[in-house]
């Protein structure tokens, strides 16, 4: 977990996902995300630059995290989605829901 320096009263926090984000690792990632959200950051960044694959269970978890962050007055940003992950987000309609930020896996406009 990384605290990003931003001129805000509540700093942004980043959680980096390395490898596939699927059912087998959700518990571990959820613990990291819960820890990050416990500080009520203004922005939680889930960095997917090193994540080539996201399954349906992970999408569900990310949607839940998005809702929790919004209810707490914050926001969830997905950084560095691979073309494969962007396609999945588009097919499910979630590309319009999540705040997307370019990273190593995204070129050009994020939305």
Residue at 35 is within a domain: yes
What per-residue confidence (pLDDT) applies to 5? 47
DSSP output for the chain: -EEE--SSSS-EEEEEEES-BSTTTHHHHHHHHHHHHHT--SEEEEEEEE---B-HHHHHHHHHHHHHHHHTT-EEEEES--HHHHHHHHHHTGGGTSEEE--TT--S---
Q: What pLDDT shows up at residue 107? A: 36
In a domain, 110, yes or no: no
In a domain, 108, yes or no: no
Q: Which domain holds residue 80?
A: 2-101
pLDDT for 6 = 47
pLDDT in tens, 25-41: 999 999 999 999 998 99
- What CATH number does residue 64 fall under? 3.30.750.24
Predicted local distance difference test score (pLDDT) of residue 59: 96
Averaged pLDDT in 10-residue chunks for the chain of 111 residues: 52 93 94 93 96 95 96 94 95 95 53 30
Q: Does residue 111 lie within any of the structural domains?
A: no
24 in any annotated domain: yes
**Against a cut of 0.85, is the pTM above it?**
no
């Amino acid at each position: 977990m990384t605290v990003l320096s931003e001129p805000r009263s509540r700093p942004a926090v980043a959680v980096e996902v390395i490898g596939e984000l699927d059912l087998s690792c959700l518990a571990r990632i959820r613990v990291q995300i819960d820890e990050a959200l416990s500080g009520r950051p203004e922005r939680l960044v889930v960095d997917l630059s090193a994540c080539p694959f996201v399954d349906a269970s992970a999408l569900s978890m990310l949607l839940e995290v998005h809702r929790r962050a919004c209810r707490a007055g914050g926001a969830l940003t997905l950084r560095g989605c691979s073309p494969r992950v962007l396609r999945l987000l588009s097919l499910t309609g979630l590309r319009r829901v999540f705040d997307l930020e370019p990273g190593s896996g995204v070129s050009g406009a994020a939305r």
